[in-house]
Structure 1
Amino acid sequence: MTATVWRADPLVWGSGARMFEVFLEPTCPYSVRAFNKLDELLTLAGENNITIAIRLQSQPWHLYSGVVVRCILAASTLEGGKETAKKVMAAVAAHREAFEFTRHAGGPNMDVTPNQLIERLEGFSGVPLKEAFAIPDLDREIKWHCKYARQNGIHVSPTFMIDGLVQPDLSSGDAVEAWASRLSPA
């Protein structure tokens, strides 16, 4: 029996000394707002000055959270790595209601199966996910994200860390310029 060799590409952009870690639940409206600001932040602050890392924070009240998070991490194992994963995250962000329940407990998504959800995400993103989703030990990557968040005392999304310190006063509602000013060299 041949073991499948795979590698999840870290969801990290930029190469600067200042580390901005963003803990996101992909279907959370506040996480979507934060996600949509990250490219602008990288441009504004300079990719040689900061490093942005997305940490996925699955949350049980977003009922398809686990399936969506697994899809994103599965996408990071495909050609294009983190850029492919980012494309999947962008598709979720652009069509958030297609992956979430009404008021977390009802609505049209009540009848959606995990396979239908994956097919829906494949359609929106153009990324073939089913085979990568089925990687048997992909769980280790999912567990890493969970463990890392817990070790840092993070329980909700979005949560922001700068250089390893949680920033409770930062929010997805802040202007990108406010984030950039906090990341400027000390």
Structure 2
Amino acid sequence: MALQPSLRPLIIAGSGSAPHTLDVFLDYVCPYSAKLALAIENVLVPLFAEGGKYDGKVKVIFRNQVQPWHASSTWVHEASLAVARVAPQQFWPFSLALFKQQGEYFDIPTSTITPTQVRANLAKLAGDVIGNNLAGDVKELLDLKGSPNGGNAVTDELKYTIKFSRQNGIHVSPTVLWDGLIANEISSSWGEKEWTEFLAAKVAV
């Protein structure tokens, strides 16, 4: 699957040249996405890393899946894209931090504060992960600027991720593609056993 060069940090596991691709469409405020993200970190990342069983065989691409029925979904995905710009190697650690603290960005907790305050909180969380010296850079990217309806510095990247999902018919999170086709059998409840069996059937070691 395609990935524009500026979004290379979204390759969260494996080598970018690996022949097989696992595209994972996740929303930071989706509990099921959080479960799958933890499985990726605990099960798949070691398998696809250098020296792992599937080293050089499979790459995992994170696909930002904005769910507009959650008002904060846009803001948390903007923050991840800002971190990808400021500290590319920290995109996945920041994503994991977002998933672990996703409850703070659910509908009710964010209903009593402004979007500007939400973005400021996200920049602070980014600082906790990538260093407080870079938190200001993240906040600057998230600040609205330009025309009254012009978005912010990562709006173009956000548009790309949304258009990519739409043109590929991705509607819900999590959705997982294996080599470009939806793998409906993959579940957020999968653990090491299920993933091991899936990879054994799909990848020649």
Return the alpha-carbon distance in structure 1 between the equivalents of residues 70 and 186 of structure 2: 22
Quick check: 58-67 or 173-182, which moved more?
173-182
Aligned to 1:163: 179
**Structure 2: which 5+ runs fail to align?**
1-5, 49-53, 146-151
Q: CA deviation at 1:111?
A: 1.0
Structure 1 residue 146 displacement after superposition? 1.1
Shift of 1:133: 1.9
- Amino acid paired to 1:160: V
More helix as a share of residues: 2
Q: Alignment partner of 2:154: what SS? A: helix
Partner of 2:197: 181
Using structure 1 for the length normalisation, give the TM-score: 0.83
CA 1:180/1:142 → structure 2, altered by over 3 Å: closer, same or farther?
farther
Q: Which of 28, 31, 38 matches 1:29?
A: 31
Measure the CA separation in 2 of the matches of 1:62 and 1:20: 26
Please, which runs of 5 or more residues in structure 1 have no aligned partner? 1-6, 102-106
C-alpha contact (below 8 Å) 1:73/1:141 kept by paired residues: yes
Deviations 1:3-28 (A, max 9, x none): xxxx4443003123211110001110
- Post-superposition Cα deviations, 1:92-122, rounded to whole Å, max 9, x if no partner, equal 1111111112xxxxx3421121222122223
For residues 88-127 of structure 1, the aligned pairs below 5 Å read 88-101=94-107, 107-126=108-127, 127=130
1:53-78 deviation line (CA, Å, top 9, x unaligned): 00000001222000111110111001
Alignment length (residue pairs) = 174
Q: Which residue of 1 aligns with 2:141?
A: 132
Tell me the equivalent position of 1:14.
Answer: 14
Q: Is the 8 A contact 2:83 2:126 kept in 1?
A: no
**Which is further off, 123-132 or 25-34?**
123-132
Tell me the CA shift for residue 42 of structure 1: 2.4
CA distance in 2, matches of 1:140, 1:47: 33
Residue 84 of structure 1 deviates from its aligned partner by 2.1
- Equivalent position of 2:45 in the other structure: 42
Shift of residue 87, structure 1, vs aligned partner:
2.7
Q: Is the 8 A contact 1:42 1:50 kept in 2?
A: no
> Following the alignment from structure 1 to structure 2, what is the Cα–Cα distance between the partners of residues 177 and 18?
20
Q: 2:72 aligned with 1:64, yes or no?
A: yes
**CA RMSD of the aligned region, Å?**
2.1
